[in-house]
Amino acid sequence: MNRSLLSHPTWVAGRRLWLDGAMHDLIHKLHYGDPTIGWEGDERLAVYFNDGTQQWEVMRLEDDGVHRLVARSAPGVPFDDRFLVRLCETDRQRRKVSLHDEIVANNERLDHQREADLDAYVGEEVAPRLRHAILKEG
């Protein structure tokens, strides 16, 4: 598997990077995606624990090198897959085209390309042979 060189610091503004096994699957999906819900993944996201408030926080390392808060759990309640669903929904709200419409448009492009490829094949390969056979018969 291709691993990124991106690394999150252990501490950010009093928050500890969360690496506990209980949320390992969620953190993996957060970074590398979950195709069952349409989440593509974002390695710039990291889960931190705030000891002062007893909350888990998802922070994103932005291009300017600063970690910014994305979401915060209720005190004492760890994130689960429902968080990814919500994150995916809000990510889609920023899209100009819905994921469904994007998939349908892509499939239509593929169908048209296949038809164009078949037409080109018939025009270049089949039609000349057919013309030759007809002329030979006549």
Give residue-wise pLDDT tens across range 87-117.
887 765 455 666 677 788 889 999 999 999 8
Q: What is the pTM of this model?
A: 0.55
What is the reported pLDDT for 112? 93
**Is-contact 24 39, C-beta < 8 A?**
no
What is the reported pLDDT for 130? 81
**Is-contact 84 37, C-beta < 8 A?**
yes
Average pLDDT, the chain: 80
What is the reported pLDDT for 96? 60
Average pLDDT of the residues in 113-130: 85
- Cβ burial of 71 (10 Å; 0-12, 13-18, 19+) is middle
For 72, how many CA atoms within 13 A lie in the half-sphere containing its CB? Answer: 10
